[in-house]
Each structure stands twice: as C-alpha cells, then as structure tokens.
Amino acid sequence: MRRLLALVIPTLLCVVVAPTRVTAQARTLSAADIFQMEYAADPAISPDGEWVAYVRRWSDALTDRRYSNIWVVKSDGTGHRAITSGKYSESSPVWSPDGKRLAFVSDRGDRAQLWVRWMDTGDALAITNGSEAPSAPAWSPDGKQLAFFKLVPKPALVIGTPLTPPAGATWSAAPKYTDRLVFRQDQIGELPTGFVHAFVVPSDGGTARQITSGEFHHGGQVYGGGTLAWTPDGAELVMPARRGDNPEWNARETDLYAFDVNKGTVRQLTDRFGPDMSPAVSPDGRLIAYVGYDDRKQGYQNTLLYVMNRDGTGARAISEKMDRSVSGPVWSSDGRTVYVAFDDEGNTKVARVSLDGTWYVVATDLGVGNTAYSGGSFSVSRDGSIVCTVSTPKIPSELMLSRASSNARNASPPPPITLTSINADVLAGKALGEVEEIWYESSKDKRRIHGWIIKPPNFDPSRKYPLILEIHGGPFANYGDRFDEEKQIMASAGFVVLYTNPRGSTSYGEEFGNLIHHTYPGDDFYDLNSGVDAVIAKGYIDERNLFVTGGSGGGVLTAWMIGQTDRFRAALAFYPVINWESFALTADMAPSAVNNWFPGFPWDHPENYDKRSLLSVVKNVKTPTLIMTGEEDFRTPMSESEQYYKALKMRGVESVLVRVPDEPHGIRRRPSHAAAKLTTLVGWFEKYRAVVQ
C-alpha cells in the first residue's frame, strides 16, 4: 500500500485565516429541527388511482421517540388528512382489490396487529390478536382474506434442568443459551426463537390459519423481512423461503415456493445458489416476475429482474441490458411489462421493463427523505399512474404522482404532480445549502468519480470555508442528489460538505461496484482524496481546515484516510469496523462477510484480513479522532470502536470514545441521539478548527 504521508501539507498549529461563520441573513437548519422533520414512506395508490395512502413518520420531543401514522390524499392533491393518529408505530398500508378498505399494521393495542379500515364509514377493526407482530399484508384477489407473515415462537434452548427459585425469592435473569450461528440482529437485538411463517385470516376478522410449516424462515433473507404474492385465482401464495441446507451460513440463499392455501401442499419454483426474492404474479396468472442472481460470492452483484412460468420453468433474466440492480417488481395491468426501481448514478428511478428486455424510465428522484442514501418506494394503479416518495436537495420527502406515460421506449417521464408539502412549515424562512454536482478523476487510475458539494447557506465564493469530507457506508451503497438532514446541518454550521461515490459504490454498474472485491478498504482512498483536491481547486476552501467523517463503511474509510494522510485537522468515525477478523466472528452479518467480502475464513487467509485491517495503519495516525457508536450495535459491534480507541490512546493520539446507550447501527432510534451525532460532530471539528492567533 502506498503511503502519502510525505506528500501532503502537515497539520498546522496556527494559521492566519479567519474562521467563516454563517451570517444572520436567514435562519438555517439546526440539530433541533430533527424533532420537527416528517417523512413520507410506503405509498399505496388505490386500484382506481383516486386515492393514495401512505405512512407519515414523525418524532416526539417529550418521549424522545419516533412514531408513524397512516394518511391519505387524493391523486389531485386534495383531501389530505390523517386516518390514524397518536403515538403509535403504523405501517404497510395496502388497498383491498375494490379500493373500499385499507389494511395496515398498527401497535395501538397491547401489541402490533393487522387492522382493516372501511373507507366509507371510517370504522376500523383489528383482525388479528396474536402475540407476535404481523408483517407484509397482502389481500386475496376476491378481498375475502389477508395473508401475512408472523413469527411462530418455539421454546428457548435450555441445557439441563434449571433450579426452581424458592417461594418469594428474587433470582437474577436466567442464562441465555443458543445453538444458532446468528442469535442477534441489529435493530432487533436478541433474536426470538422460532420461525417466520405465512398465515391467512378472513378480512372481516376471525382465526388466522398457518399456511407454511417446518423449521424454516419464510419471507426473506433476514428475520422479519420479505414479501408474498397471491395467484389471481386465489389458490396459492408465492413467497421466498430459506429452506435449503445450512441457511444461517448461506445467508443470501433463498428460493421461491408456491403454497396451496387450502391443501397446504408446496411447490418449489426456483433452485439455484443465490437469492430469489420479491415475487409478483402476472394478472393472467401465467408468469411470475422476481429478482435475484446466481451468487458468485462476489462483494457486489447486480440484482436482476427475472420472469418464469407459474410452474417454475422457463426462467430468464430480462434486465441485463440495464447493468443496474433492480427491486420491487410490479406488473402492469395488461401483463406486458414490469415496473422496477433502480439506482442510476446516484438517482433512484422507476423503469418499465418489457418482456423482451427493452425498458424506459417513468419516474425519478425517489428517496427516503432524511438521507442522501438511495431508497424510496413506489406504487402503481391499474391505469399505470405511479406514486413515489421523492427526495431532492431541496425537498426532504414528499409524495409525487406521475400519470400513465406513453409506451415509447426511453420516453421522458411525464411531469409529476406534487401531492404533499409535509415539511413546508419546518423549512419556511430557512435557507438550505445549495447542492452542486461534481465529477472528477481519481489519482489512482483516472476513473471518473461522482459526487456532490453542499455549500453553507448564504455562501460567498470570495471567502474561504472549512471542508468536511463525508463518506458513505455500505460499502455497496450510493449517495445521490437527495435531501440529507445531517449534511445540511453540517453546512448550516459553516462547513462545505463533500460527499461522493468512490469505487465500490452501486448505481454505476457491476464492474465499478466490484472494484473493491476482496480489496476494501484500499484504492478508494485515492478516489476520496482526489475529491478533496477537486473541491480545493474551486478556490473557496481553506486547505488548513479539512475534516473527515463517515458512518459504518464510511467510518472504516475515515480511519483508512487518516491512516494514509495527515491532511485532516480532525476526524470522526461513526460505528466503524476496525479489525476484520473480530468483525467476521462477532457481527450479525458475519456469514455474508466471510462468504462474500473475503476469500474465506480469517485463519485460512490471515494476510488478506491483516492488510485490510484498520489496525494495520493505526501506527500512522496523527489526526485527533473521535469514535461514536451505539451500545446495541450488532452490525459493527462496540468492540470494534473500543479496539481503535484504545490503540489511538496508547499511541498518544488525541481521541475520544462516545458510547450511545440503547442505540443500534446508525444511531437514529432516538431523535435526541440523532441530534447528538450532529452536535458532537460540530463540537469536535470546531475544537480543532484553525483560528486567528
């Protein structure tokens, strides 16, 4: 690995450039606004295209919790109103086939249940009463039943016969036994014992009936995920399941199965090594669309759109020409095309793909609303109208609707109709940082790298500003021209923010994504470092006030950057991986890491693990560094951060470790903790920001 320590300007203790501060010309975003922002998610357009139901997410400052309710709006933007309210978590709205009822999941009782609301009267009924939360509700074609997934618990493992406490005694919690490879999952914690199965329940209430059986997880690759689809005749449910050999170890492996709703018989539809997911049955019942790939054990592979006959024969990929991963297939009402979402150079779009593989874009700018990461969702009505959650640099999260477009290949999507303005009150009178797209060449191999610059509100190009390089995680993910509350708040604090998609990022094709296969972190340093140089070349950056940060994979690359160069005055690594060997033996995603990110086990390939370890370059670090991680992070466990912190401290590097209680990966469970990420970052960088002496 090349070292650039001798090629950069050393950190200076004293400079003569005055610090730049945001002026009082306009109010700007602050960390406190995290409690005020709201986000649209999970849109569902009614079959006739007249109404859109969606999930509206919000935060409460008094309880320091996040909640969500169900709202509806007409397709012309009128009639916008809540149909549920209160401090609950509600999700997954789905219309009945006749559009007269809406099903959703709500925890407004003692626990989450499946609810149905009659839209004409407003009456609502919990149609399940189980102890475990339902997920992925799907109406039968005749509207008489709803299918869903639910955990079926089984007794926890116990070895031996435990003693019984004496009457009136208070004993400590019992030991926890496990014989599973994955027994904790980030965002969930200790995984309950049991398996996820599919059920059906009468849509007007009654006893839920279990359709699947066996000691297998149904629905997806991870606990609690996945989708299911009815066949048009209502006879079968099609779903992914992990019913193969050693499913915990082969973590990406799923196949599609069809379960007879009445007889309980099962047909296996796919049988290959790799994920097969998100089934959608054509309106005439002849074909099944789904997504997946043949797993070559690469770090990144394009997820392709497939179609096959209902009996599982004739499977073929139809999206290979796109050279992009696709998701969420939905059939057009005529059964001739399939809608899918995909990321393209940092922008999430919806494409309409014909069965011969031709395709064209019908919607753009999908996003989740609070982050520049890819995401967002869409829904399609019978007439081809599409509603999406949209996010742009100036629009955090809104619903937009595009009417059915022409069938011309590569036709431009029609102008969308904005249905909501849920953050207009928060943003009124506040100046946002302008976002500028940038392309530049990597010093490694002249590859073109894509990124974006956020300038402070009231930006003055004649002044010099400090720069934050903010690095995305994944590492197989992408940033884009989407609203990002964290980066906007950084810019509001007076920093120019650069965020890029270095090699390994998705949305630029499979070859670009696999440039870091078995070599991450590595040459992505040059992509990121060249981005800093490209912004400096614009003339408004104070070169003596450069900072670097990132979370997860971005935390990895933050530690990698300061192990290669001392050009940054301070660094903040959020929830990083530091030691790949310990990560591969402790993280919830350990099987995927060993199988797909490395050539094998640590003891068989110690040299590959060692050269990619952040401990291999910690001896070079001179940069003051803060590490911040959630104490319930099982994706990049706290032990990773502690290793790095103690290595820095023992070397005498100025460093601070911040442990956030009750937080999983991402530090967003509690709004106050999300705000603390920003106040900590600004405080740390301000501490080391050069000032006039």
Q: Which amino acid appears at position 181 of this protein?
A: L
Angle between helices 524-536 and 553-564 (to 10 degrees): 80
- H-helix or E-strand containing 679? helix 671-688
Domain range for 473 is 17-31+429-578+613-688
Residue 553 within any structural domain of the chain: yes
Distance CA 471, CA 498 (A): 8
Three-state DSSP state, 353 = strand
Strands (E), 232-366: 236-242, 255-260, 266-268, 276-281, 287-292, 304-309, 316-317, 326-331, 337-344, 347-354, 359-366
Look at 9-23, 318-332, 388-402, 493-507 and tell me which has the smallest mean pLDDT.
9-23
Model confidence pLDDT, tens digit, residues 198-245: 999 999 999 999 999 999 999 876 666 789 999 999 999 999 998 878
- 235 and 262 in contact (C-beta within 8 Å)? yes
- How much of the chain exceeds pLDDT 90, in percent? 87
pLDDT of residue 23: 43
- For 35, list phi and psi in degrees, rounded to 5: -75, -20
Distance CA 557, CA 40 (A): 31
- 256 and 276 in contact (C-beta within 8 Å)? yes
Residue 289 within any structural domain of the chain: no
- What's the CA dihedral at 516, 520, 521, 522 to 10 degrees? -50
- 392 and 423 in contact (C-beta within 8 Å)? no
Task: Name the nearest CA neighbour of 386 among 410, 365, 355.
Answer: 365
Distance CA 186, CA 663 (A): 10
pLDDT of residue 9: 26
**Distances from the Cα of 266 to the Cαs of 289, 292, 375, in angstroms?**
19, 21, 33
Q: What is the CATH number of the domain that holds 461?
A: 3.40.50.1820
Model confidence pLDDT, tens digit, residues 356-387: 999 999 999 999 999 999 999 999 999 999 99
Angle between helices 485-492 and 671-688 (to 10 degrees): 40
pLDDT of residue 41: 96
Query: Alpha carbon 292 to chain centroid distance?
Result: 18
pLDDT of residue 220: 77
| Residue 392, pLDDT above cutoff 90 | yes
What count of other Cβ atoms lies within 10 Å of the Cβ of residue 578? 24
Establish how many alpha carbons lie within 13 A of residue 155's alpha carbon, considering only the half-sphere containing its beta carbon.
3
Residue 266 within any structural domain of the chain: no
- 443 and 449 in contact (C-beta within 8 Å)? no
Tokens 């393209």: give the residue: 344
Geometric angle at alpha carbon 92, from 387 and 263, rounded to 5°: 115
Distance CA 290, CA 315 (A): 10
| Residue 523, pLDDT above cutoff 80 | yes
pLDDT of residue 252: 87
Q: Where are the alpha helices (DSSP H) in 368-523?
A: 424-427, 485-492, 510-513
Model confidence pLDDT, tens digit, residues 628-649: 999 999 999 999 999 999 999 9
Residue 543 within any structural domain of the chain: yes
**Distances from the Cα of 412 to the Cαs of 360, 404, 406, 626, in angstroms?**
8, 12, 9, 46
Report the number of distinct structural domains present in the chain.
1
pLDDT of residue 14: 30
Mind spelling out the 3-state secondary structure of 150-193? Answer: EEEECCCCCCCCCCCCCCCCCCCCCCCCCCCCCCEECCCEECCC
Distance CA 561, CA 247 (A): 36
Instruction: pLDDT band for 409, please (50, 70, 90 cuts).
Output: low
Q: Where are the alpha helices (DSSP H) in 247-301?
A: none
**Distances from the Cα of 607 to the Cαs of 87, 319, 518, 543, 559, in angstroms?**
51, 38, 12, 36, 19
- H-helix or E-strand containing 673? helix 671-688
Residue 67 within any structural domain of the chain: no
Token couple for 197: 């199965």
Residue 23 within any structural domain of the chain: yes
- H-helix or E-strand containing 118? strand 113-118
Model confidence pLDDT, tens digit, residues 426-479: 999 999 999 999 999 999 999 999 999 999 999 999 999 999 999 999 999 999
pLDDT of residue 416: 85
pLDDT of residue 106: 97
Residue 156 within any structural domain of the chain: no
Three-state DSSP state, 654 = coil
| Residue 412, pLDDT above cutoff 90 | no
Distance CA 287, CA 300 (A): 28
pLDDT of residue 19: 38
- 588 and 625 in contact (C-beta within 8 Å)? no
Token couple for 421: 């303005």
0.75 surpassed by pTM: yes
Distance CA 219, CA 236 (A): 15
Distance CA 377, CA 94 (A): 13
Residue 647 within any structural domain of the chain: yes
The Cα diameter of the chain in Å comes to 82
* Residue 320 exposed, middle or buried by CB count within 10 Å (0-12, 13-18, 19+): exposed
Instruction: pLDDT band for 693, please (50, 70, 90 cuts).
Output: very low
Distance CA 261, CA 200 (A): 8
| Residue 13, pLDDT above cutoff 50 | no
Geometric angle at alpha carbon 324, from 320 and 325, rounded to 5°: 100
Buried b / exposed e over 242-259, threshold 16 CB at 10 Å, is bbeeebeebbbbbbbbbb
- For 280, list phi and psi in degrees, rounded to 5: -140, 125
Q: Where on the phi/psi map is residue 298: left (φ > 0), alpha (ψ -120 to 50), or beta? A: beta
- What's the CA dihedral at 137, 142, 145, 149 to 10 degrees? -30
* Residue 167 exposed, middle or buried by CB count within 10 Å (0-12, 13-18, 19+): exposed
pLDDT of residue 555: 97
Distance CA 591, CA 205 (A): 41
Distance CA 562, CA 126 (A): 54
Model confidence pLDDT, tens digit, residues 269-279: 999 999 999 99
Instruction: pLDDT band for 413, please (50, 70, 90 cuts).
Output: low
